[in-house]
Amino acid sequence: MKISEGVYLLFKRHDKDRDGRLSYTEFCSMILPKDRNIQLKIQSRQSVSRSISYESKVKLAQLVSTHLNVEQGHEYLRARVKNQQADYSVSINEIFRLLDSDNKSYLSVYDLEDLLFSQSKTRKPDLMGDVELLLSKYDRTGDRRISYLEFVGELTPKHQ
């Protein structure tokens, strides 16, 4: 996949208002850790100078490159899910209904925790961290639940 396709995918995920630009808030949301305490620590640091050091520029470039690679990896997995659906005659709707055990029309933190537990067979101490990562990828509205449309949107290939 070309870099321009990776940038397209990156914008599809992080450009929340779909204006074709990453605002400061959208950019920070992309590069800052998901842990709120760490975010606050980083944001409260006082700037020593108005310029960015060479080392910081290199680290920022590496971080953005990693984001591009992750988005390209997600796109690859989306294409695999699409192919698996065809191979096994299963729809995204059926998968969503299986995960939504209480028929609430959304996936809750508890549904995600149950899914991860069923895959790992052990309650890891960082299970909630994994749940938070899933929420950060799928929950586009920030209501801490994943609607069917959000679920489908994340599993549908962006390049068809």
Domains of the chain: 1-41+52-88 (no CATH), 91-160 (1.10.238.10)
Look at residue 147 in the predicted model and tell me its pLDDT. 94
Q: What is the pLDDT of residue 125?
A: 63
Contacts within 8 Å (CB) and 24+ apart, 10-19: 10/67, 10/68, 10/71, 12/71, 12/158, 13/71, 13/137, 16/140
- Give pLDDT, residue 104: 92
The predicted structure's pLDDT at residue 146: 93
User: So what's the pLDDT on residue 141?
Assistant: 85
Q: What is the DSSP letter of 45?
A: P
Residue 15's pLDDT is 85
Grouping H, G, I as helix, E, B as strand and the rest as coil, residue 9 is helix
What pLDDT, on the 0 to 100 scale, is given for residue 123?
A: 60
Q: What is the DSSP string of 94-156?
A: HHHHHH-TT--SEE-HHHHHHHHHHHHSS--TTHHHHHHHHHHHH-SSSSSSEEHHHHHHHHS
pLDDT tens string, the chain, 160 residues long: the values are: 566 888 888 888 888 888 989 898 888 888 888 777 888 888 887 777 778 889 988 998 998 888 888 888 888 888 888 888 777 777 888 889 988 988 999 999 888 888 888 777 666 666 777 888 888 888 888 898 999 999 988 888 876 5
